[in-house]
A and B are shown apart, each in its own frame.
Chain A
């Protein structure tokens, strides 16, 4: 995950993000009782209009994940955010660790190889500058 990560209900971003960010934080907290939670709004990097909340990344550290393979951990996160994923939440990156895993390695994996497929590539034939809206 790139970019600054927003701390959890410790009030990171002076305003704690937009309404969807707050909802995501609240629902994940209620569902998974995380010992550590970071919610990052990636929407600006995906070309939405200002204030759009569509793409998020979450880092969830919770004992609820113990013994579960990654697929099942992610399903728990999705279940907590089912309504949002059926609605405005268009994309969700998930990192799900147990407290033990996070303690032994409190770092995020390096970014995926080549985060391409940007709006620029799509628009190349238009010859235009990367737009703010689609």
Chain B
């Protein structure tokens, strides 16, 4: 069984390219959505520099459709609900529907094709599916702890233990 796991690491070149994530194509090659093709330079809300600033401005940053108060997509809503379950209400949320440049720029930055996108401590963590998985297997509690955020679910468990 262990040997099988190790050989799993020897993936093909194409797959390895996929895993390079951000090291992939530069923003200037971004296929356009709206006028978003400016990328690369210091300008534009979708440029690498602009996106970098956004993902670093808070320990928890979410790029979504709509807002936490009014999500406009079921997957974005799921992210908001999961964070809420953990008592995380103070985070930065960016509505990509308001900004086509950002909508494309964030996909190029993370080399990830869909919205929502969740960043913890400036690092791309995944979308709705992955956040849900992390929530269900306890990883999210741990990741929040690393950011100095105590998940509300820990307190919920404590209350149960007291009873």
Contact = CB atoms under 8 A, between A and B. Distances in A.
A112 B5 contact: no
B74 A118 contact: yes
B7 to A, nearest CB: 8
Nearest to B71: A117
A72 interface: yes
A121 to B, nearest CB: 8
Contact of B129 (A63, A74, A75, A76): A74
Interface residues of A, number: 34
A85 B14 contact: no
B46 to A, nearest CB: 16
Contacts of B124: 71
Nearest to A119: B72
Interface string B111-139: 11110000000001111111011101000
Given A66-B4, A67-B9, A86-B31, A74 B72 contact: no
A3 interface: no
B19 A115 contact: no
